[in-house]
């Protein structure tokens, strides 16, 4: 992951995932085990924009690790740029929350990097799945289920935990046909597709029917959500857009959480886990 | 890990929200989509578009409306490109507001032939752009048979000895694998040099082949960047 002839650029948002990657890279470099001449950290400077401002965290990481994290202004492109991109590449540029990182890529390239490590995938794989309810029910681990419910009740409250129990515990274990029918009713009630024109709605129904017909046979319930994470159309589009933007700037994107090994290890996990478990495992697994 | 990161990050429970970026061009985007509503009518109903644009204008409703509006805009920009010939795509009239507010009309740059540059990696992109065959899912493949493609143009060579082509999928496959221009390899060439990297579809037409994701992964180190120049208007 760190092999490079130039300094390895790391996106350091200030969140746990990207910060951990940067910290590990810096630690390996300190020990002389990092297969690149240097590690450069970059963060987006969103100071003064409320919830987007993570500067305090990024600076805390920089101080703690003892390496500079370069602050880069978020890239704000005009609509015409998006149109030009689509015209030149035959592919959408992606969403503004991806394009805003273009400045980091260009700055990293300017400073001699040819690859960029990002923490995307951490949310998808490490945040945990509440399908642990379903897995506990399916394997009749009642004590485990009770403990989970107690923990979640304390955190989210009893009403929310009850809703989660039905949604993530009972729902996934229902027969596929019944599950689809419930989804269909819920979509209708929420008006989720109501803004679409009739032909598009019809097309969506057809596509969903194809997808439902391919309901994968899984070893444990939670794998169904994980397979959606891996192969869901939106995620693939987002990852591909991210990769194109990076390549356009002249960098190879490296996503440790999306490697085959990482994805496979999560898929092969014997049971689903909550959000705390991966953090705990990281604490013991990392140097 | 405990020693590697500061307590403030390890114990962090908040999550950054970047919806602010979706609102940077809000007024311009609303104008654009409102003007294009007729062209969008096969995708969204007029009432649906009006509602989603109203929601997008409401600062308290950041979230779904933003994703919808930007998705709609991205698809529309792409469709405009896909329905025009390649040469015209670069010269197509841009939205009036966008052009006047951000891009002053400039003299057209002289044409330069697009060229292949080795820059970064396009692992996902080189395996195709259809949402299948992600390289973490070992063994998944993409339709790479030359017979499924048209407008094939060799745009470069890879050190592995394979041609890199720009192409479009033919009608029945465009539906499956995506319309518009694509970049990738031709499975017959892969089969010749790396026979283990392809598989044959017995259930399609006899012998149609796909290139395995491993080949596409091995194309890492490659990326494409077309020259920034605009092609001449006289191009066919």
- Using one digit for the tens of pLDDT, what is the confidence trace for A188-221? 666 678 889 999 988 888 887 776 655 667 777 7
Residues B188 and B89 in one domain: no
Residues A85 and A189 in one domain: no
Q: Is residue B88 in some structural domain?
A: yes
Q: Which of B44, B122, B138 lies closest to A197 in CB terms? A: B44
Q: Is B42 on the interface with A (CB under 8 A)?
A: yes
Residues A21 and A114 in one domain: yes
CB contact under 8 A, A86 and B81: yes
Range of the structural domain that residue B160 is part of: 116-224
Query: Do A251 and A113 touch, CB atoms closer than 8 A?
Result: yes
Using the predicted structure, report yes or no on whether residue A254 has a pLDDT greater than 90.
yes
Residues B37 and B70 in one domain: yes
Residues B95 and B128 in one domain: no
Residues A68 and A91 in one domain: yes
Residues B128 and B75 in one domain: no
B175 → chain A, closest CA residue? A207
Q: Is residue B2 in some structural domain?
A: no
Write the Ramachandran bin of A175: left for phi over 0, alpha for psi from -120 to 50, otherwise beta: beta
State how far the Cα of B70 lies from the Cα of A94, in Å rounded to an integer: 9
For A176, the enclosing helix (H) or strand (E) is helix A176-190
**End of a domain among B76, B102, B128?**
B102
CB contact under 8 A, A96 and B70: yes
A206 alpha carbon, distance to own chain's centre: 28
Residues A31 and A164 in one domain: no
Extended beta strands in chain A, E state: 8-11, 39-44, 69-72, 115-117, 252-254
CB contact under 8 A, B120 and A195: no
Q: Is residue B185 in some structural domain?
A: yes
Residues B54 and B120 in one domain: no
Residues A38 and A112 in one domain: yes
Residues A144 and A210 in one domain: no
Q: Is residue A18 in some structural domain?
A: yes
Q: Is residue A240 in some structural domain?
A: yes
Distances (CA, A) of B17 to A50, A168, B65, B108: 8, 25, 15, 39
pLDDT tens figures, B96-140:
433 333 334 445 555 655 555 444 444 443 443 333 333 333 334
Residues B133 and B210 in one domain: yes
**What is the number of domains present in chain A?**
3
Query: Do A126 and A279 touch, CB atoms closer than 8 A?
Result: yes
**End of a domain among B33, B68, B102?**
B102
**What is the number of domains present in chain B?**
2
Q: Is residue A227 in some structural domain?
A: no
Q: Is A93 on the interface with B (CB under 8 A)?
A: yes
Residues of A in contact with B122 (CB under 8 A): 243-244, 247
Residues A167 and A244 in one domain: no
pLDDT tens figures, B192-229:
887 777 766 554 433 445 544 334 433 333 333 333 33
Residues B160 and B201 in one domain: yes
Q: Is the Cα torsion angle A133, A139, A144, A146 positive or negative in sign?
A: positive
Residues of A in contact with B49 (CB under 8 A): 195
State how far the Cα of A13 lies from the Cα of A120, in Å rounded to an integer: 11
State how far the Cα of B141 lies from the Cα of B147, in Å rounded to an integer: 16
pLDDT tens figures, B140-196:
445 677 888 888 888 888 777 888 888 888 887 787 777 788 888 888 888 888 777
For B224, the enclosing helix (H) or strand (E) is strand B223-224
Query: Do A244 and B125 touch, CB atoms closer than 8 A?
Result: yes
State how far the Cα of B185 lies from the Cα of A170, in Å rounded to an integer: 46
Range of the structural domain that residue A213 is part of: 175-220
């Amino acid at each position: 992951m760190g092999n490079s002839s130039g300094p390895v650029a790391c996106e350091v948002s200030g969140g746990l995932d990207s910060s951990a990657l940067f910290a590990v890279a810096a630690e390996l470099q300190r020990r002389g085990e990092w297969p690149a001449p240097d590690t450069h950290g970059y963060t987006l400077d969103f100071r003064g924009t409320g919830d987007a401002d993570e500067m305090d965290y990024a600076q805390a990481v920089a101080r703690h690790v003892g390496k500079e994290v370069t602050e880069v202004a978020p890239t704000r492109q005009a609509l015409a740029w998006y149109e030009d991109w689509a015209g030149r590449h035959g592919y959408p540029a992606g969403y503004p929350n991806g394009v805003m990182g273009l400045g980091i890529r260009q700055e990293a390239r300017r400073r001699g990097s040819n690859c960029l490590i990002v923490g995307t995938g951490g949310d998808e794989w490490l945040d945990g799945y509440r399908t642990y309810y379903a897995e506990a029910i399916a394997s009749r681990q009642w004590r485990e289920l009770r403990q989970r419910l107690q923990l979640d009740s304390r955190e989210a409250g009893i009403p929310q935990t009850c809703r989660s129990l039905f949604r993530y515990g009972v729902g996934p274990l229902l027969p596929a046909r019944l599950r689809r029918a419930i989804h269909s009713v819920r979509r209708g009630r929420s008006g989720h597709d109501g803004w679409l024109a009739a032909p598009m709605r019809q097309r969506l129904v057809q596509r969903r029917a194809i997808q439902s017909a391919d309901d994968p046979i899984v070893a444990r319930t939670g794998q169904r959500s994980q397979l959606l994470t891996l192969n869901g159309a939106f995620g693939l589009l987002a990852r591909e857009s991210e990769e194109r933007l990076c390549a356009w700037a002249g960098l190879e994107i490296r996503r440790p959480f999306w490697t085959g090994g990482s994805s496979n290890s999560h898929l092969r996990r014997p049971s689903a886990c909550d959000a705390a478990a991966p953090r705990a495992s990281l604490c013991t697994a990392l140097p | 890990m405990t020693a590697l990161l500061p307590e403030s990050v390890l114990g962090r429970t908040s999550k950054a929200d970047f919806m602010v970026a979706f609102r940077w061009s809000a007024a311009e985007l609303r104008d654009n989509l409102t003007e294009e509503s007729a062209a969008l009518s096969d995708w969204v109903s007029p009432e649906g578009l009006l509602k989603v644009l109203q929601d997008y204008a409401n600062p308290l409703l950041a979230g779904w409306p933003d994703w919808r509006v930007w998705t709609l805009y991205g698809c529309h920009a792409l469709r405009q490109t896909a329905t025009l010939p390649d040469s015209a795509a670069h010269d197509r009239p841009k939205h009036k507001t966008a052009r006047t507010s951000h891009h002053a009309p400039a003299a057209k740059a002289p044409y330069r032939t697009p060229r292949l540059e080795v820059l970064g990696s396009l692992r996902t992109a080189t395996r195709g752009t259809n949402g299948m065959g992600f390289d973490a899912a070992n063994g998944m493949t993409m339709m790479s048979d030359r017979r499924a493609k048209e407008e094939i143009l060799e745009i470069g060579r890879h050190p592995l000895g394979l041609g890199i082509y720009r192409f479009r999928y033919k009608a029945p496959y465009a539906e499956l694998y995506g319309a518009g221009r694509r970049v990738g390899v031709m499975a017959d060439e892969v089969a010749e040099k790396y026979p283990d990297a392809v598989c044959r579809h017995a259930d399609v037409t006899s012998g149609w082949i796909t290139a395995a994701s491993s080949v596409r992964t091995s194309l890492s180190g490659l990326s494409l960047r077309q020259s920034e120049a605009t092609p001449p208007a006289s191009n066919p």
